[in-house]
Structure 1
């Protein structure tokens, strides 16, 4: 439900500000419980949807490839993120690109939570997953935070 609310808010902000909507994370896939996402989608594609393993509608971009971000103009988007930032190799660099292309208009539903997920189950989803993010809404939050999976610590970065 949080993803759906955040997506609707991002869509409204984009419309109000006359910006395009960028969704990071393919709404067609990528959920641990895929059958639920198919039956009850939380999100839609944006004007641009970024996902390395996305569907045909997606820009198949690796969020860790800083040169790939260059195709997007400064402050042109409202950015809605759906958990893909958990795959960041350098969260600071990825956030700097999101800050640049969004002009500060950024919402994130965060990642999965709970002891079993954070300690063990994330490994069954992907061995590339590094973080589980906390929800973030740039209208009220100024720090982006989360945990290093495997209970290896936390991070908090000024957005």
Structure 2
């Protein structure tokens, strides 16, 4: 049985809610990881943070492996990127910036657009890799129904 486009993109209500919770957890996790120097920016101009990408991509591939939906995979990467950006806005900028300036940095439309495009591209790739790995695992186990 081939799933519908809506099911592949959005999943059921439980998957959507779980996807939002996963994105929120990745937001908090990457914020704390960068704040405590578990994740570090190696320097230079940072457009897409590496550790946040890795964390989000691992979750997106697990979502694909479990035959989840694409939207939660995209949200997982976006949440990780937003956590990095929030840490940079609130803990990385100099204290001379006002709260309004920090919020403007966090919600900069260009930065959000870059994160959104990267989330869709990398999230789709990670989701696809996880989905294919799940198909291979099912084939090896012999439990794959007709796809």
Q: TM-score, normalised by structure 2?
A: 0.28
Higher strand share: 1
Q: TM-score, normalised by structure 1?
A: 0.26
Higher relative contact order (CA 8 A, sep 6+): 2
